[in-house]
Structure 1
């Protein structure tokens, strides 16, 4: 590594990720440390991580935000790059990170994430550039406590790097939909806890606004059939989130 580069830890959270983790670990070997926080894998994830020299810590599941922050806190270095097991650092992004850490201009950096869906990397619409803030100095940034849709929070100016973070979940459409169903439930719970309420307008028009924004204005149609299916699921997620909120609101009203 360049002699002047800030030392870097890569933090990854895992659960039964053996089928996806190896490419992630290979792409992260330029870092000075890889730390894997595992929440009880039974499929060889831990052995795979250790084979690539990662330091593995077992931690019961805390929710996405708290689990990622636990990994950040356990890292040896203040500069941390957070990855998911189904992501990998492209060569172009690695170069950008190496250069940025020689003389950091700020304490947090974001970069585009390119999502593979139904065999195609989406380059338009909702799937790209999917800006992701994942590289930061933990003394000036931290993960939110959100159970889903977690994000890095910082008061620092956010720098921007070139090169894609490649996201390839390699999951079936059925498992993807199962995960989306779980996420919409969590998102509905979070919205209600924040004092938000569902309404006819939100249920009816939120999916439409989402379709216009991502499929038409941001040209998701250029990603072909995978792009259409991706935005259709996204619109349905909006519909289900507010529908689940409405269900909870009616249930709570009945109990009063």
Structure 2
């Protein structure tokens, strides 16, 4: 009745917890981007079906994963999100009511450097994680892909804990990856960087997240995550600039 789907790359630290938390699902399907760690072996040992596919972009990878599901209703959580027993029970009870034209989003509790950030823009961090695959798909954006659905989107009551931070270097590498994908997206749209992009856009991202979105209320962690977000924007346009000049 429910297919639990995910995409992975080097998630050996999270994959066991992830699969065990989805014991309510009738099948678990993982599309892996040729991990170099033990992700694939662990997932198979725990009963998940694993397909390996070269990563091109998040939307294409996720839409391909959707095509593998044998059930109409799917969950699509990230590996760094924890599905609690309460949320799992709510998901199964929701499906039993047979909502025909509804999709469901979940509020995420964002944890950074060991602290839950209640502000910094994360106070409204809702993501669609339960939907019918027949009337939903991910859009074509390279970064921060969003689900497009013909269904009415409702909210689940229980939240999911989001532990995207493993270490400072790991988080910085993740931001670098996202900024590069965003630069590729802008390059394909023929956007050329200028001083506005280098100076104003990073500054605005920091100010918006730290002041307008109340990041200062999260203490030093709020400052750090806001600074890194602004720096990610700066890196995006540096990478875009190097692409136009064929600089490695």
TM-score normalised according to structure 2 size:
0.87
Is the 1:13–1:38 Cα contact (8 Å) retained in structure 2? yes
Which residue, out of 82, 89, 98, partners 2:83?
Answer: 89
Q: Does 1:70 align with 2:64?
A: yes
Is the 1:114–1:129 Cα contact (8 Å) retained in structure 2? no
String of CA shifts for 1:163-216, please: whole Å, max 9, x gaps. 222222452211221221222121012023234443323332223332332222
Query: How far apart, in 1, do the equivalents of 2:123 and 2:22 lie?
Result: 22
- Counterpart position of 1:39: 33
- Counterpart position of 2:226: 231
Q: Does 1:106 align with 2:106?
A: no
- Counterpart position of 1:212: 207
Is the 1:105–1:159 Cα contact (8 Å) retained in structure 2? no
Query: How far apart, in 2, do the equivalents of 1:156 and 1:43 lie?
Result: 38
Which residue, out of 94, 107, 121, partners 1:126?
Answer: 121
Residues 91 and 125 (structure 1), Cα distance of their counterparts in 2 relative to 1, 3 Å cut: farther
String of CA shifts for 1:82-121, please: whole Å, max 9, x gaps. 1222222133432432333223263322222222211112
Structure 2: runs of 5+ lacking an equivalent: none
Q: Does 1:55 align with 2:49?
A: yes
Structure 1: runs of 5+ lacking an equivalent: 1-6
- Counterpart position of 2:112: 117
The count of corresponding residues between Structure 1 and Structure 2 is: 245
- Counterpart position of 1:203: 198
Residues 204 and 105 (structure 1), Cα distance of their counterparts in 2 relative to 1, 3 Å cut: farther
Q: 1:34 deviation in Å?
A: 1.0
Q: 1:231 deviation in Å?
A: 0.6
CA-based RMSD of the aligned residues comes to: 2.2
Partner-residue secondary structure (3-state), 1:124: coil
